[in-house]
Structure 1
Amino acid sequence: MSLIPRDSWSDFNRLFNNAFPSIRPRFEAEFFSPRVDVVEKENAFEIIADLPGVAKEDVTVTCHNGTLTIEAQTKKEQDKKEGDQMIHRERYHGKMVRSFSLGDNINDKEIFAEFNNGELHVNIPKMEAQSENARTITIN
């Protein structure tokens, strides 16, 4: 199982964090993916995603054709009063997506997820190791 994120925006985004701080908020608003940790355990892989400000009902985890996708949505709160002016904005509002190629040694029917205090834990059980012994094929 590779569990390597399918996007490279995280590295590209880090490049801009310090180099171009004035355009960073606009860049992140268009290309945002949640920060994740991927942990390999004895019997499973675990993906831990930070989803600050996201409600549980606004999180979706899907597995299709060997790809696990985490989608989340935050809503912009309009608590601004008349006459208020936004001076600086860094908080992200909108849709977040992150995808992972799972490989073929996982049990996709047993994947489960838990969400608590803005942190998503996705548990991906491993399958029994397949025999890697070479076998001779009879040619007719």
Structure 2
Amino acid sequence: MANISRYEPFEINDPLDNLFRGFFRPVQMDRDMPQIRMDVKEDEAAYVVHADMPGVAKDDIHVTIDGNTVSISAEVKKNTEQKEGEKVLRRERYFGRVSRSFALENEVDEATASARYQDGVLELVLPKKTAAAAKRLAIQ
């Protein structure tokens, strides 16, 4: 019977190539950096957005509305340090800016929109703009 061998197209048998295997690793993103997670609900009159933003100061949150596009951004400052005597046992720090933008189906009435931040949750009430009734032109 003939010897059958399996062909592995990505198998590297060259000793020089094996030397560099595992040397180049993909860059990993910082998973400790927070992200804005949100729920968006809609009724006939308005959209209600709940965005989780724990540890962010109220003054560091910025919300902009442009038509039907809503942008939420925040400056994140976290500084936690645990010490025992002079030896630092654990240190976690990150600084940066997080942001999130999304588009809604209807335009938002910026004049009556409201925002409230409590217990790490940003609540936006975004009333829908009333659509202007179609105007019929009289033909002369």
Give RMSD over aligned pairs. Answer: 3.4
Residues 50-89 of structure 1: pairs in structure 2 closer than 5 A = 50-64=52-66, 66-81=68-83, 82-86=86-90
Report how far residue 94 of structure 1 moved.
2.6
SS of aligned partner of 1:75: strand
Higher RCO (C-alpha under 8 Å, 6+ residues apart): 1
Question: What amino acid is aligned across from residue 123 of structure 2 in structure 1?
Answer: H
With 42-51 and 62-71 compared, the bigger mean Cα shift is at 62-71
SS of aligned partner of 2:111: helix
SS of aligned partner of 1:110: coil
If each structure's strand is expressed as a fraction of its own residues, which one has the higher value? 2
- Aligned partners of 1:57 and 1:80: how far apart in 2? 26
- Look at both structures and tell me which one has the larger radius of gyration over its CA atoms: 2
Q: 1:127 aligns with which of 120, 126, 129?
A: 129
Q: 1:112 aligns with which of 97, 111, 114?
A: 114
Question: What amino acid is aligned across from residue 126 of structure 1 in structure 2?
Answer: K
- Aligned partners of 2:113 and 2:40: how far apart in 1? 15
Q: Name the CA shift for 1:37/1:97 in 2 (closer, same or farther; >3 Å).
A: same
- Aligned partners of 1:52 and 1:33: how far apart in 2? 10
- Aligned partners of 2:42 and 2:110: how far apart in 1? 16
What is the match of residue 97 of structure 2? 95
- Aligned partners of 1:78 and 1:36: how far apart in 2? 25
Question: What amino acid is aligned across from residue 68 of structure 1 in structure 2?
Answer: V
- Aligned partners of 2:45 and 2:65: how far apart in 1? 19
> Unpaired runs of 5+ in structure 2?
1-27
Please identify runs of 4+ aligned residues in structure 1 that moved more than 3 A: 102-105, 129-132
Q: TM-score, normalised by structure 2?
A: 0.61
Q: Name the CA shift for 1:79/1:33 in 2 (closer, same or farther; >3 Å).
A: closer
Q: Name the CA shift for 1:127/1:64 in 2 (closer, same or farther; >3 Å).
A: closer
Q: How many residues align?
A: 112
Q: TM-score, normalised by structure 1?
A: 0.61
Tell me if structure 2 keeps the 8 A contact 1:76–1:94: no
Report how far residue 130 of structure 1 moved.
4.6
Question: What amino acid is aligned across from residue 61 of structure 2 in structure 1?
Answer: V
SS of aligned partner of 1:76: strand
If each structure's helix is expressed as a fraction of its own residues, which one has the higher value? 1
